[in-house]
Structure 1
């Protein structure tokens, strides 16, 4: 099953939707996060509900989960990215956070902040939590996954490196596309492992890897995070980016206004976003 959050009523409201062929069936929930929070039977409710339909091609996609309780991200989780950034291989997951104001839809503009010229791409697999969990053992971790989606952890590099903490460069307003759909685990390999992931800028491939190369896989990550805090339905986990980021190149390369960033994850979908200069 594939679920999205779409804008309706001239963009003033949103609704969760189930994809059926080339149409989206609107569901009686304001977004995918609200659906997941409605109870453990969310999947049955989503599958059986019927409502107004609209063509997939005409849908305006909002952030998949617009207001998650938590957005937890992993850094340094692919060997290629660890090497290009000159970091040692971590013994434990490197965690940081985002706020929901950074999230945008699958085709929305990425807002380049006026305070920086160092806007970088990071293609990633994102995990959407479907069931509450604390102290989740590895063998049960994937039971807590509602599904998987595509994201790009677009990063303001100079602000990321102002201090030892990543946060300030990772959560600028309207910089993190996520979507286009939540794909339920039954449609993908366990843990969404073995999927090709890529990123291009104006048609030029910048990143190309496979989710089998994750240092800490989805189950490991859920177990680790749930040791720290309770995971809730709708929480987002961004699993890290492979090698090929702009800051890891010589010379460094960064995004510019007008460029199109395309992020693709096999079996899940594609993000297509244009960079625009934000205004003070």
Structure 2
């Protein structure tokens, strides 16, 4: 079966969504243990606070939307992005979230006028209810990570990084279901080193690459609402096997340390999933060579002041 996540398809998607997406900035930071400055791709400044808007607009734009509108299952960030895309398109949105979704993310989804169903313990409980709703109503599915338009939309982030940072050697990317890193791998296709980063309690891609096939895990921990996939996406997995060098694992405390470092040194507020890739550098789970030019994707900022302040004082 031909690989649909190609550079030409990503380029076409970038053109389609360009007027709806922010071109997010890049900044450099210096870490004492790393010789060269590290580039941070600040995708947490994207509409709705995460990269997910790219895949959502890729799915919604140019489609005939049924009267029932769109439907999505999400731990939070994807739901906000899908709701925002539906709001901009002037169509109804029905978002299914699990009990673990953070109140800040649920509030953001509601702010775009979506109808929310919050029930079930995990993302996959929400996905089951979402799929049932789609079957009953004909609503358009906006999948969080395992659909061609989603991966193509997320791949536009890699196109943007290459334009801004043509000299990078390595890109560190947090992984949940794999839509972001799959789209990125589909763009670079081995031209740069791509390293995934997962919490050790949400390690679906790491476990799957180790076994050579997609396996099921039980996600938990502080980043589970955004990175808590029980298995890697079917579409992205062949791309991961071909183009992702490895997946580094970090612990919850290392993610908290990364959140604190980013605030203390750059005044950047991240959610746990958004700081996970940076945690690999800070903790030493990924150690670049002396002259290696590294870029880290900071992919999400959807937290609330009270939750974030607790991270700062622990």
TM-score (norm 2): 0.27
Structure with higher RCO (Cα < 8 A, 6+ apart): 1
TM-score (norm 1): 0.29
